[in-house]
Amino acid sequence: MENLVNDLFGQFAFLQKLGYVPTAAIVMLACGLVVLNFFGLMSGLFTFFERKVAGWTNSRRGPNRVGPYGFVQFMADGVKLILKEDIIPAAADRSIFKFAPYLLLLGTALSFVVIPFGPKWIIGDLNVGVLYLLATGSFTVVGLIMAGWASNNKYALLGGMRSAAQIVSYEIPNALAILVVVLTAGTMSMQGIIRAQAGGIHHWFLFSSPFSFLAFFIYFISAIAEINRVPFDIPEAESELVAGYNIEYSAMRFGVFFAAEFGNIYVISAVAVTCFLGGWQVPLLEVGDLGPVGRGLGIFLGRGDVLTLMLAVALGISMLAWKALRAFVWDVRRKQAFFGSRFVRFHSELLVLGLLFAGGALVLVLHVPLRAHLPTIYRLIFQYLVPFLVFFTKAMLLSFVVLWWRWTLPRLRVDQLMGVCWKYLIPIGFACLVGQGFWMWLFS
């Protein structure tokens, strides 16, 4: 953040006229807006994504009525939640009841501050980034207990108590697993941890040693437990507690609980990607000092037209291949549908191809006046867009695993839950920490 403010302050004259403090304030406000909106969008998308995955695992389709493939469903849900009546029980502790969901939301939204999107895209690269993440994660338990207590409902209170027991227990293996990473990377800054994993897939902490490999699973399990997701969702176990801590909530206050929960999915996958899966690093194509393949691609960077055309052709071919795969391998019954009878079906591919080529042609035409700036543009793309997409893809894949778990595994009993934490994750976590120390002593 400081870097960003300094950069902007140095580059633009009108900001210097404005003064340093107002500039910093504006940048802070803008960053806050971006982060909150990204958070809202992510949690919205995850509600949709979760329903889709739920449908798929049940051989259903999931939502597919609002917008293309039901993509805008989450907006419809949000509008509905906002318009509904917000009921507060008469016996509830009003101020705490009203405040609790926002505290939960605050914890999640604050985590987004240290989540990197690229080598230069991060709101605040704190030197204690990981510690900060653990701290913001604890907001959840306070929010849940407040919600449970203020509702004045025995089920809500039970849910809150359970969540306290669970989250406090699971913070230990969570911290232990992250400690392994901190030990290996030698830093707590998120960007520092990612930079420590540079140089190919075998340098990612997931694969760099058997102990950090185990630590990844410990982190992932305990993080899922910490955000109260199935199979560790005993605070909101429907079969036992009706709905748990959020039983008395309605309308958007209820929605805020879910926004926080779904935002947390992205947070834990992003942290797992940062700590174990190399963050925004691409194997063989290291951003920054472009790796071997990156250097080869560098020849094309000056030739934007060729690159774009190749990209368009590759996209078109892969799209056709995808459709053919679907038609022939996955859906044998509709073999003829691909070629002959279904004109619309075939037509759609042609349409997409045409659009791609039109886009390519547009870039071809545009690149003539932009020729002088092309290296800058491609540098920007490689420094900002590509790392972001890489990071985002990795995080989304991990999030899919989280959703996938939810629709596969049954809920744990309370004693089993505590058993998993105290008997298995924590001892193994300590063993990993010590083992990683020995590993580093042996091999470096």
Partner 1 sequence: MKVSEGIKEYFGNIYESVTTISMGMWITFKTALFERKVTLQYPSHDILKGESRDASLPKQKNLLPPFEALLGASQQNYRGPLNTQLTERYRGLLGYDELKCISCLLCAQNCPIDVIRVKGVKIEGRKGKAPTTFRIDYSKCMFCGLCVEVCPTDAVFFTRQFEGATFEYRTLIREFISPELYLERLQLAEVAKKKAIEKKKKKQENEEKEQ
Candidates 31, 53, 105, 271; binder of partner 1 (CB under 8 A) is 53
Quote the least distance from Cβ 275 to partner 1, whole Å. 21
Query: What residue spans of 186-333 are helical by DSSP H?
Result: 190-195, 205-208, 210-226, 238-241, 251-276, 292-301, 304-325
What residues does 282 pair with on adjacent strands? 285
Which segment (21-29, 48-56, 295-303, 436-444) binds partner 1 by CB under 8 A? 48-56
Which segment (20-28, 277-285, 300-308, 338-346) binds partner 1 by CB under 8 A? 338-346
Candidates 9, 38, 64, 357; binder of partner 1 (CB under 8 A) is 64
Q: Does residue 32 interact with partner 1 by CB under 8 A?
A: no
Q: Do residues 287 and 317 make contact, with C-beta atoms less than 8 angstroms apart?
A: no
Residue 296 or 427 with smaller CB distance to partner 1: 427
Residue 300 or 338 with smaller CB distance to partner 1: 338
- Rounded CA-CA distance 348/148 in Å is 52
Q: Does residue 12 interact with partner 1 by CB under 8 A?
A: no
Q: Do residues 374 and 367 make contact, with C-beta atoms less than 8 angstroms apart?
A: yes
Candidates 28, 57, 165, 192; binder of partner 1 (CB under 8 A) is 57
Quickly count: other Cβ atoms within 10 Å of residue 87's Cβ. Answer: 13
Residue 53 or 188 with smaller CB distance to partner 1: 53
List binders of partner 1 among 395-414 (CB under 8 A). Answer: 404-405, 407-409
- Rounded CA-CA distance 163/29 in Å is 33
Quote the least distance from Cβ 232 to partner 1, whole Å. 13
Q: Does residue 393 interact with partner 1 by CB under 8 A?
A: no
Q: Does residue 98 interact with partner 1 by CB under 8 A?
A: no
Residue 414's nearest CA partner among 267, 155, 232, 273 is 232
Q: Does residue 324 interact with partner 1 by CB under 8 A?
A: no
Which segment (65-73, 119-127, 284-292, 434-442) binds partner 1 by CB under 8 A? 65-73
Q: Does residue 348 interact with partner 1 by CB under 8 A?
A: yes
Q: Rounded to whole angstroms, what are the CA distances from 142 to 88, 105, 114, 139? A: 20, 11, 21, 5
- Rounded CA-CA distance 265/218 in Å is 16
Quote the least distance from Cβ 413 to partner 1, whole Å. 14
Q: Does residue 33 interact with partner 1 by CB under 8 A?
A: no
Residue type, 136: T
Q: Rounded to whole angstroms, what are the CA distances from 139 to 73, 143, 164, 329, 416? A: 29, 6, 11, 48, 25
Q: Which residues of this chain interact with partner 1, rule CB under 8 A?
A: 53, 55-61, 64-69, 330-331, 334, 337, 342, 344-345, 348, 351, 404-405, 407-409, 423-424
